Amino acid sequence: MNVLIIEDEKPAARRLARILGEVETGTVIVDVLPSVGKTANWLLKNPSPDLIFMDIQLEDGLCFEIFEKCDITTPVIFTTAYDEYTLRAFKVNSVDYLLKPVGKDELKQAIDKFRKFHASGMQPPGIESLMSRFMPNTKERFLVKIGEHYKSVTTADIVCFYIRERCNFLLTGQGKSYPVDYSLDKIEQLVDPKQYYRLNRNAIINYNAIKDVVAYSSSRLKVILAGWNGEDDLIVSRERVAGFKEWMDR
């Protein structure tokens, strides 16, 4: 079986190749590629492998950009340290989604699934059953402290979550900001990904609060958000622009 590994961390790539050799004898690693650009070039110039193992966050962006550049029909098993991209992963010909560090038993199960569903021409199980392994229930409200008092803020009423001076805040539809105890990484896991999107390292926004989206530069976008009173503009980071457009176009 010819396998292509797309992974920007050399230790992770070596570990995966080693475990693959133990789990599946006769596996040939045709190449190890660290970036979107190099992978796209490789796929355009070489025969398709039998299976692709693909990390999601590569050295020059998210791996989903590869699918925009190339027509990939090869089955893919994603390997990543983050579970936030599960939904997108299963939209692009994915067999399985393994969280790092990948164990031998998990890898063997993924290989078995690949053989069962793809070698036989069958389709893998629906996205709903697979997502249930990774996606937590969305949070309905957040508890905030106001002086000596506590108040629950309904999630749907939150315009955005943001970081200011190393502290995390939420902004309500009434223009009130409150500190929250959760990190943005954790909040991103707790809110509905159909409704909320992380623009950059410092902000997660509510779709319903978007007033306008304008070109900010050749590769970035600026979001105008209802009620936003921050000093900084809300800019979609370069590596998230493609995902943001997809999120807006559901």
Q: Which class for 16: exposed (0-12), middle (13-18), buried (19 or more C-beta within 10 A)?
A: buried
**Token duo for residue 28:** 């040939």
Torsion on CA atoms 74, 77, 82, 88, rounded to nearest 10? 40
* Domains along the sequence of the chain with CATH: 2-131 (3.40.50.2300), 141-248 (2.40.50.1020)
| pLDDT confidence of residue 64 | 81
Which residue is associated with the tokens 């990939």? Answer: 72
- In the chain, the N- to C-terminal Cα span, in Å, equals 36
| pLDDT confidence of residue 232 | 83
**Token duo for residue 20:** 């693959």
d(CA 143, CA 165): 21
Per-residue pLDDT of the chain (250 residues; tens, 9 = 90+): 899 999 999 999 999 999 999 988 889 999 999 999 999 999 999 999 999 999 988 888 888 888 888 888 888 888 877 665 554 555 555 677 788 888 888 898 888 888 876 655 554 444 344 444 444 468 999 999 998 999 999 999 999 999 998 899 999 999 899 999 999 989 988 898 889 999 999 999 999 999 999 998 878 999 999 988 777 899 998 888 988 998 898 7
Whole-model pTM: value is 0.49
